Chain A
Amino acid sequence: MRTSRILATLGDAHRNLGLVLALLAVMAGFSIAAPSFATTDNLFAILHAMGPSTLAATGMALVILTGKIDISIGSIAFLSASTGALLMEAGHSPLAGFAAILGLGAVLGAINGFLVAYLRINALIATLGTMMAYRGIGLIFTDARVIPLPETMRSVANATIGPVFIDTVAVVAIVAAIQVLHRSTSFGRSLSAVGNGEDIAARIGLNTRRTVFLTFTLAGLLAALAACSSFIQVGSVSGFLGKGLEFNAIAIAVVGGISLAGGRGTIVPGVLIGAAAFQMISNGLNQVNADPYIYQLVTGAVIFVAMYMDAFKRAPVR
């Protein structure tokens, strides 16, 4: 059983082989151009910086696997982080603040899940509405102020275990847990089944509504975890938190091999490769002192290639 799982993971890695090879080539290029790129410290810096987007993309990947989309995760991150930051600013303990962030994230995700699974509202429309509403509520709460992390928590941002940042360890543990959930539980397997055809999945006895509801709730929770990671790293919550996070998450998921049509893709290694690709490119361009206007061009090109590869894989064989 265990061997078959390892073989499955290797199979998944094989499906991402093209991307992995391309990444290795990019890494080699950056390493030659900038001696500071291929260092252990820089590797850990890349892992650290990719934490928030990895968590958000993991939640997004689960939703996309069911054939849906959630474009409100950036607003969930913002509203939940704002609420937690305001609680801490009002004198509540950091523990209570972070618990509130996670709890609210799950609740906001559950609202999305209810709208999509039980009210049968199109996922794009439902989460477009909540994206605007959640951000609006967050801005009303904070009055668009920058709310700093309590001084007592600032040391956590750069705390390490050996050379590894603590929040990187947390991100690895969370992603590993989601991987187990996806590959080793009936809920995880039902995601792909729903993504491959909701009607068929319902006919074989799967509770598709419950699966979709729980997936959106989980995506909300992961968006809140991304918000915690960003809040700790950046040291404050501002109106910019979570802005564009949904599109970054979609890009990471797609580059990592999650099919936008649903039903196909992996968290490990898929999403991890996607997140690493974007962070590595951004880091490498920093290191080689690239023209500031080149960043968006390169990012766009990576997404385009990934989309093309996805379309190519899904194209019928003639």
Chain B
Amino acid sequence: MKSHLIFATAAIGLILSGHAHAEEKTIGLSWNSKENEIVGKWEEYLQSEAARQGKEAGLEFRFVINVADNDPTRQAANIEDLINQGVDLIIARGEDSAAIGSSIRAAKRSEIPFITFDHGSTSVQPDAHVSGDSYNQAKSTAEAFVALMKEKGVEGQCIELQGALKDVNAVNRSKAWHEVTENSGVVTTLQSVPTEWNPEIFRSGTVNAFRANPNANCLFLGSDFAISAVRSALESMDKWAPAGDPKHVYIATQDLFPEAVKAMEDGYIDVGTTFDAYEHAKEAIRVAITLIGGGDPECAPEGCLAAGRIATPANIATLENLWSRQ
């Protein structure tokens, strides 16, 4: 009994001393905006991964978070505040890929490691860039879609609903879609509609494009966050039908937002590539711990990029860590 008590006391002591000796580090997290639900998920995963990976590395992380409401000037001021507070590392999703460069320079002057997250910098190289790979995301979707069309023996006559043309992710996705499909021999893009990520334009653009191209039988979406708008447009033309129905319009998409997950489960969306918020956060914290320790995160020249996973009605129910299904 006495030996058990001694063992238990020693164990508690070890745990407490372990806590006492975990080195405290502060991460400054600068969001350009929080108007998309994926940002909330990123924040949640960054904090949970910081707690998990930090514990393994003997570090205890604290976050200082600010939001710039889509204003590059305010984001520069926010990051200046983080620098003045003496944070140990900055993770920033820049509003403007050129303007974020001045903040990176300011952090370098103060010897604070800087990670650009999701949105990269076109002006100054950060210590690391962590992101999903928007080009590869659309490339894998397009390749899977081409394979599907070949398998079905269908000639795809598609309408593309692009994102905002100033958004590098939207531009990369469009570029990858065209590069793959233009040489496929089975998929043709009849029309590209710029939506500015505005759901109302997703709706009206879909209606207009189908009116101009009545023979269209497929859609490529820059993102499926606005799938309900596309659904509404297709319903107005009696074209919202699941796979197998003669009225079915084939849909290839990106991201797999919650409503899109349901639409895919029900057979309305044929193929998509996930935007893995969890993998992005996990990678960002791995890189952060390496940089804080003075190491090299060993990113590829284009950054530490987390690939998405192909989702289809056949595997959507079994994909692990899918943020939009939790």
What residues make up the interface of A, taking CB atoms closer than 8 Å to B? Answer: 34, 36, 39, 41-42, 45, 49, 52, 132, 135-136, 139, 143-146, 148-149, 154, 157-158, 230, 233-236, 238-241, 243-244, 279, 282-283, 286-289, 292-293, 295
Contact residues of B: prevailing secondary structure: helix
Interface bits B193-209 vs A (CB < 8 Å: 1, else 0):
11001111111110111
Most buried by B among A41, A286, A288: A286
27 examples of A-B residue contacts, CB within 8 angstroms: A36-B212, A36-B214, A39-B211, A45-B204, A144-B39, A146-B37, A148-B228, A148-B259, A157-B235, A158-B232, A230-B200, A234-B228, A234-B229, A235-B229, A235-B232, A236-B229, A238-B36, A238-B225, A239-B35, A243-B198, A244-B198, A283-B204, A286-B204, A287-B208, A289-B190, A289-B212, A293-B194
CA distance A289 to B208 in the complex (A): 10
Closest-CB distance, B315 to chain A (whole angstroms): 23
CA distance A154 to B236 in the complex (A): 11
CA distance A244 to B208 in the complex (A): 22
- With an 8 Å Cβ cutoff, the count of chain B residues facing the other chain is 40
Closest-CB distance, B16 to chain A (whole angstroms): 36
- Whether the pair B205, A240 counts as a contact (CB closer than 8 A) is no
Of all chain B residues, the one with the shortest Cβ separation from A239 is B35
- Whether the pair B165, A292 counts as a contact (CB closer than 8 A) is yes
* Interface membership of B13, Cβ < 8 A: no
Most buried by B among A144, A157, A235, A239: A235
Query: When A144-B35, A146-B259 are in contact, do A292 and B203 touch as well, CB less than 8 Å?
Result: no
- Whether the pair B191, A41 counts as a contact (CB closer than 8 A) is no
- Whether the pair A146, B236 counts as a contact (CB closer than 8 A) is no
* Interface membership of B248, Cβ < 8 A: no
- Whether the pair B259, A49 counts as a contact (CB closer than 8 A) is no
- Whether the pair B226, A238 counts as a contact (CB closer than 8 A) is yes
- Whether the pair B39, A233 counts as a contact (CB closer than 8 A) is no
CA distance A3 to B193 in the complex (A): 46
Residues of chain B with a CB closer than 8 A to A238's CB? 36, 199, 225-226
Most buried by A among B208, B214, B231: B208
CA distance A36 to B37 in the complex (A): 38
- Whether the pair A234, B232 counts as a contact (CB closer than 8 A) is yes
Closest-CB distance, A95 to chain B (whole angstroms): 21
Closest-CB distance, B198 to chain A (whole angstroms): 6
Closest-CB distance, A313 to chain B (whole angstroms): 31
Residues of chain B with a CB closer than 8 A to A41's CB? 211
- Whether the pair B194, A234 counts as a contact (CB closer than 8 A) is no
- Whether the pair B212, A34 counts as a contact (CB closer than 8 A) is yes
- Whether the pair A286, B212 counts as a contact (CB closer than 8 A) is yes
Query: When A49-B204, A157-B236 are in contact, do A241 and B40 touch as well, CB less than 8 Å?
Result: no
* Interface membership of B177, Cβ < 8 A: no
Closest-CB distance, B238 to chain A (whole angstroms): 9
The residue that B199 contacts in the complex, of A240, A283, A289, with Cβ under 8 A, is A240
* Interface membership of B297, Cβ < 8 A: no
Query: When A158-B232, A287-B212 are in contact, do A234 and B200 touch as well, CB less than 8 Å?
Result: yes
Nearest 5 CB-CB pairings of A with B: A239-B35, A235-B228, A286-B208, A292-B194, A49-B204
* Interface membership of B61, Cβ < 8 A: no
- Whether the pair B208, A283 counts as a contact (CB closer than 8 A) is yes
Closest-CB distance, B52 to chain A (whole angstroms): 23
The residue that B203 contacts in the complex, of A148, A234, A241, A244, with Cβ under 8 A, is A234
- Whether the pair B257, A139 counts as a contact (CB closer than 8 A) is no
- Whether the pair B235, A132 counts as a contact (CB closer than 8 A) is no
